[in-house]
Amino acid sequence: MARSLGRECGTPRSGLGKGGPPRPQGPQARCTLGRRCTVSEKCRCPRPGWTMTPPRNVVKIAIQMRDAIPQLIQLDQAKPLAAVLKEVCDAWSLTHSERYALQFADGHRRYITENNRAEIKNGSILCLSTAPDLEAEQLLGGLQSDSREGCREALRHLVPLASDMTFAREVISRNGLQRLGTIIEDGDDLGEVLALSLRAFLELMEHGVVSWETLSIPFVRKVVCYVNMNLMDASVPPLALGLLESVTLSSPALGQLVKSEVPLDRLLVHLQVMNQQLQTKAMALLTALLQGASPVERKHMLDYLWQRNLRQFIYKNIIHSAAPMGDEMAHHLYVLQALTLGLLEPRMRTPLDPYSQEQREQLQVLRQAAFEVEGESSGTGLSADRRRSLCAREFRKLGFSNSNPAQDLERVPPGLLALDNMLYFSRNAPSAYSRFVLENSSREDKHECPFARGSIQLTVLLCELLHVGEPCSETAQDFSPMFFGQDQSFHELFCVGIQLLNKTWKEMRATQEDFDKVMQVVREQLARTLALKPTSLELFRTKVNALTYGEVLRLRQTERLHQEGTLAPPILELREKLKPELMGLIRQQRLLRLCEGTLFRKISSRRRQDKLWFCCLSPNHKLLQYGDMEEGASPPTLESLPEQLPVADMRALLTGKDCPHVREKGSGKQNKDLYELAFSISYDRGEEEAYLNFIAPSKREFYLWTDGLSALLGSPMSSEQTRLDLEQLLTMETKLRLLELENVPIPEQPPPVPPPPTNFNFCYDCSIAEP
């Protein structure tokens, strides 16, 4: 056989010294060094030698069973699973193989079916267990046991299995949800049995087989009772709160029932308990109730919560807690901040009504607060025309572009919100307001800073920076601690910003023509300071005032030098030569980051974020290993991760709207954040194409993972982060190379090469030996 194969592939019939070992024929022939050589060519590998690669649909696995010696078998994926089970049972002398099933031994011990058997890889460890239908029947029978201990034991076995879809379908088809609901409604045991029942119910409902809207009103009311009563078992209230949160987000009708049955005071009581899990679930239900309320109801609810000092409690006991804040709590604080700022949207969208008596009076109050003395002394005894002319002139001094200020405030946004800000500043900082207006009234016309025009533009700027009126992101955690440290935070932020505008105006020696330039600088000052997340308004005021116009110019110059560098042709040529080496360095860093691993969140159809999974690259860069984990747990070891995806099976990297798990979510504005952070890996699973889906925790992690996966696939790393890192490394390396040329001008063109000499008699003949 070897000789015939050798003759077919062109190798000598005998003698390994010349042609090497014979080459097998067919598509499965591979060189021992991993190179796939065709039959028609000679093997050009350094040490030729051939082996037969095993078929791709055969994997080597271990199967274990309690009190039995494990079996090491080669699993043919093309063989029906029932036939595989029959062979395994026969090896252990077990009859009725249909009563057994295979499970993954690691992780959540998921049952293996024809749909997920492609996930079995070489080296997988499986275990033989009871079939899911029999297991479900047995456990549900235990739930009806007269013995409380028997019911508790059945629930202990049911909870870890409930996360498996195959087992969950069997339980649900046998009215398992109704049996669990009966235990929850009866409430005979308010301890471990109730906690296990709630946990199992949540796990089963999480699969989406049964809609939350099918829950009965008595059942929901009973769960509400567990939230409202003082229970000895601390594990029950968080589970009850989590269940009510899912009900509120999924069913508007039942959400109204929860809103009417759960007092806000009770949620405040749960928030004050020094238990992070309970606080997080209470905050989750609170934000869910606020999101489901109408704008009017939401305003009443938030006003009541602020009156009960919720803001102060969050600031002192959650934000400044000794324990680190979890990602889920950070998201709920972001939602609470966004909903509170969203109360400003109606005023932002409403233009000033020139026929409204109340709004005209507010404008007059604003004018009189600035020119009260002057108006009283010069307005007495004047005719109506003269008084109108005086008012128009004073409104001009206030910085309105038109003599009729209503025309300036017709712009939407900011609408009436700008007027609210100006009134708040004049009433709460009267001395600063008067100083601002009078100081600019005494300047030359071209150098005065217009208070009203600046206030209108500043209000628009703050609405953009704080995302007022925009829908809540479903994964963002970008809340500002300063928001919870100050009443009327938006108006207080305006007071700091308007004084910053006047300060920057003077530093820039600006004129009316420079208004847009000044606003760009103010925007940069506010954005840079907000990005630092100051914890209080005073700290924000200190930092933003320290960011002077000169400092902004210095930062811009520094960033420009980092980004642009020099454009001389020799430097550009040097940069091009350095790029391959530096791209290799970036690639190495990306792969090391993948080896460290990242904690991802699972986003279900209701955008719940309470489930985590960890994924990392193996040190030899051949496997992606991943698995579920609990929040707050330390990073798992490679050996504890149950799932593996060979890099060789990966086909392509998908991002954004091309990802299958994003396409299923729709195309609404609320999914924009998912588009920006979503990516998927398509890979071979048998003869089908499967996907491993990710939602990155941040934009930076998105860039690092997509770059690393692109490197594994042999594709170029084209992310924005790669561009920035490459530019930074090029700039730094170029400067190091040019240190010796400091203050030496580099010409745009290379010096001319002189013409060759007329003769070469000056050349030394090295062949002549010296005497």
Structural domain includes residue 492: yes
- pLDDT exceeds 80 at position 564: no
pTM given for the model:
0.68
Number of C-alpha atoms within 13 angstroms, CB side, residue 269? 11
Residue 364 burial (CB count, 10 A): 14
Q: What is the pLDDT of residue 378?
A: 46
Cα separation, 22 vs 497, whole angstroms: 81
588 and 695 co-located in one domain:
yes
Same domain, 120 and 184: no
Structure tokens at 341: 């700022």
What confidence category does residue 37 fall into, taking pLDDT thresholds of 50, 70 and 90?
very low
**142, 223: one domain:** yes
Task: Tell whether the model's pLDDT for residue 112 goes beyond 50.
Answer: yes
Q: How far apart, in Å, are the Cα atoms of 11 and each of 20, 46, 253?
A: 7, 15, 79
pLDDT for 274 beyond 70 = yes
Residue 755 within a domain: no
What is the C-alpha separation between 562 and 730, in angstroms, rounded? 9
Residue (of 428, 420, 534) closest to 483 by Cα position: 534
- The pLDDT assigned to 212 comes to 92
8 Å CB contact between 215 and 225? no
Residue 743 lies in a domain: no
Is residue 636 located within the same domain as residue 523? Answer: no
Query: Hey, which of 11-25, 610-624, 744-758 has the most confident mean pLDDT?
Result: 610-624
The helix/strand/coil state of 205 is: helix
Has residue 356 been placed in a domain?
yes
Helix axis angle for 327-342 and 295-307, nearest 10°, is: 110
Three-class SS state of 734 = helix
752 backbone φψ class: left, alpha, beta (φ>0; ψ -120 to 50) = beta
Give the β-pairing of 29-31 and 50-52.
Answer: antiparallel
User: Are 217 and 307 found together in one domain?
Assistant: yes
Q: Same domain, yes or no, for 451 and 507?
A: yes
Q: Which of 99, 130, 161 is the last residue of a domain?
A: 130
Rg (CA), the chain: 36
Mean pLDDT lowest for which of 72-86, 694-708, 756-770? 756-770
Q: What's the CA gap between 437 and 449, in Å, rounded?
A: 9
- Number of Cβ within a 10 Å radius of residue 90: 11
Task: Give the C-alpha separation, 14 to 21, whole Å.
Answer: 9
Residue 82, in any domain of the structure: yes
The total domain count for the chain is 4
**Position of tokens 């330390």?**
634
DSSP 411-465: STTTTHHHHHHHHHHHHHSHHHHHHHHHHHHTS-GGG---HHHHHHHHHHHHHHH
End-of-domain residue from the set 692, 713, 729: 729
Residue 2 has pLDDT above 50, yes or no: no
Q: Up-side HSE of residue 473: CA atoms within 13 Å toward CB?
A: 22
> Does 27 score more than 50 pLDDT?
no
As a whole number of angstroms, the distance between CA 506 and CA 499 comes to 11
Task: Report how far residue 429's alpha carbon sits from residue 438's, in angstroms, rounded to the nearest whole number.
Answer: 14
**What type of residue is 106?**
D
CATH number of the domain that residue 659 is part of:
2.30.29.30
Q: Which of 119, 40, 54, 307 is nearest to 686 (CA)?
A: 119
CA 739 to CA 95: how far, in whole Å? 81
pLDDT value of position 668: 53
Report how far residue 595's alpha carbon sits from residue 620's, in angstroms, rounded to the nearest whole number.
Answer: 9
d(Cα 475, Cα 602) in Å, to the nearest integer? Answer: 10
pLDDT average, residue stretch 71-76: 91
Q: 729 vs 566, which has greater pLDDT?
A: 729
For 341, 543, 598, the CA distances from 491, given in Å and listed in that order, are 11, 18, 39
Task: Name every residue whose Cβ is closer than 8 Å to that of residue 537 and which is 6 or more positions away in sequence.
Answer: 482, 485, 486, 489, 492, 493, 496
Q: Indicate whether 574 belongs to any domain.
A: no
Selection from 733, 360, 741 nearest residue 580 by Cα: 733
Question: Of the ranges 4-13, 309-318, 587-596, 685-694, which one carries the lowest mean pLDDT score?
Answer: 4-13
User: Is the predicted pLDDT of residue 31 greater than 50, yes or no?
Assistant: no
Residues 506 and 461 in one domain: yes
Instruction: Using the predicted structure, report yes or no on whether residue 607 has a pLDDT greater than 90.
Output: no
Going across the sheet that includes 678-685, the strands are 650-655, 678-685, 688-695
Domain at 113, CATH number: 3.10.20.90
Instruction: Looking at the structure, tell me whether residues 484 and 361 fall in a common domain.
Output: yes
Model pLDDT, residue 7:
37
pLDDT of residue 403: 75
**Tens-place pLDDT, residues 609-656:** 567 889 999 999 999 999 888 877 788 888 888 889 999 989 999 988
- The average pLDDT across 21-29 equals 44
> What is the rounded CA–CA span in Å between residue 766 and residue 319?
81
- Nearest 10 degrees: CA dihedral of 40, 45, 47, 50? -40
Mean pLDDT: which of 108-122, 472-486, 538-552, 752-766 is highest?
538-552
The pLDDT value recorded for residue 482 is 92
Mean pLDDT across the chain? 84
- Which domain-ending residue is among 70, 99, 130? 130
C-alpha distance across the termini of the chain, in Å: 71
Specify if 673 maps to a domain: yes
C-alpha to C-alpha distance for 29 and 767, rounded to whole angstroms: 56
Which residues 6+ apart lie within 8 Å of 178 measured at CB? Answer: none
Q: Per DSSP, what are the bridge partners of residue 613?
A: 600, 628
What is the three-class DSSP state of 75?
strand
User: Do 588 and 713 belong to one domain?
Assistant: yes
Residue with the two structure tokens 């009973």 = 222
Nearest to 240 by CA among 292, 287, 290, 277: 277
Helix (H, G, I), strand (E, B) or coil at 217: helix
User: 402-431 b/e with 16+ CB inside 10 Å = b?
Assistant: eeebbebbeeebbbbbbbbbbbbbbeebee
Q: Confirm if 396 and 403 have CB atoms less than 8 A apart.
A: yes
Residues 402, 299 within the same domain: no
Q: How far apart are CA 161 and CA 104, in angstroms?
A: 12
**Strand runs labelled E in 507-656:** 598-601, 612-617, 623-629, 643-646, 650-655
Q: Can you tell me which residue has the tokens 């946990």?
A: 199
Q: Beta strand 58-64 with 125-130: parallel, antiparallel or unpaired?
A: parallel
Q: Examine the domain organization and report whether 329 and 187 are in the same domain.
A: yes
Q: How confident is the model at residue 21 (pLDDT cuts 50, 70, 90)?
A: very low
| Residue 624 belongs to a domain | yes
In this predicted structure, the answer to whether residue 568 has a pLDDT above a threshold of 70 is no
Domain hosting 443: range is 349-372+388-561
- Least confident segment among 32-41, 328-337, 705-714: 32-41
Q: What percent of the chain has pLDDT over 70?
A: 85
**pLDDT of amino acid 105:** 87
Say yes or no to pLDDT of 208 above 50: yes
pLDDT for position 567: 58
Examine the domain organization and report whether 328 and 416 are in the same domain.
no
Mean pLDDT comparison of 44-58, 236-250, 631-645, highest-scoring range: 236-250
